[in-house]
Chains A and B, each alone.
Chain A
Amino acid sequence: DTGVSQDPRHKITKRGQNVTFRCDPISEHNRLYWYRQTLGQGPEFLTYFQNEAQLEKSRLLSDRFSAERPKGSFSTLEIQRTEQGDSAMYLCASSLDLGVTYNEQFFGPGTRLTVL
């Protein structure tokens, strides 16, 4: 399977614990995005990377959230001191940016986080 993969698919944690999610994009894609989706809503943008550089962060991304893409390939999203409001589906997407126009994003299956 050469699509975007995410791990784990499901995570249940207790309030106050730290969690880390991983995203593996399509191999030649230089852009990687993170979104959060709560029930009944469309995905909300969190942040994105161009290669290893983090170019934009949403104000939704509080200081408890951090994302990295150290070698411009896979990415991790860490949430520290989780709160019940962090319960959501976390989606990763990747695209190939050629510097001319937007290219469609390919989404992974998501990681569903439940904070008890």
Chain B
Amino acid sequence: DAKTTQPPSMDCAEGRAANLPCNHSTISGNEYVYWYRQIHSQGPQYIIHGLKNNETNEMASLIITEDRKSSTLILPHATLRDTAVYYCIVLSYDKVIFGPGTSLSVIP
């Protein structure tokens, strides 16, 4: 079973920041938080990952709480092309187990 819980859907206005939450209260010390997204009819695409420090790359920022029980993926300026299902995953050294994810709709 997936070790994460996410809201099933969210809306975001184009140009605004999209903040996608994820709860992973049972995460253990050596498990990373990974985010993927899946645009309709395509394979999942890696976005970002982190262990305990906040991370930023050209796509997004990842904020992990100090107790590591939750995290937030931030898309700073959402565009229509960011409309997708976003998956939050925790794992250490094994297969990826996807939950149902959050369906993000970016609205013009």
Contacts and interface: CB of A to CB of B under 8 A. Distances in A.
A67 interface: no
B32 A102 contact: yes
A44 B42 CA distance: 15
Interface residues of A, number: 22
A107 B44 contact: yes
Contacts, number: 51
B45 A101 contact: no
B101 A42 contact: yes
A96 to B, nearest CB: 13
Interface string B41-75: 11111100100000000000000000000000000
Contact of A101 (B32, B41, B99, B101): B32
Contact of A105 (B96, B97, B99): B96
A94 to B, nearest CB: 11
Interface in A58-116: 91, 93, 101-102, 104-110
A37 B2 CA distance: 15
Interface residues of B, number: 23
A41 interface: yes
Given A33-B95, A41-B100, A48-B95, A109 B32 contact: no
Given A40-B100, A104-B49, A45 B44 contact: no
Interface in B72-107: 85, 87, 91-101
A1 to B, nearest CB: 13
Contacts of A102: 32, 34, 91-94
Interface of A: 4, 33, 35, 40-45, 48, 56, 91, 93, 101-102, 104-110
12 contacts: A33-B95, A35-B98, A40-B100, A42-B87, A42-B100, A43-B44, A44-B98, A48-B95, A93-B96, A102-B93, A102-B94, A104-B34
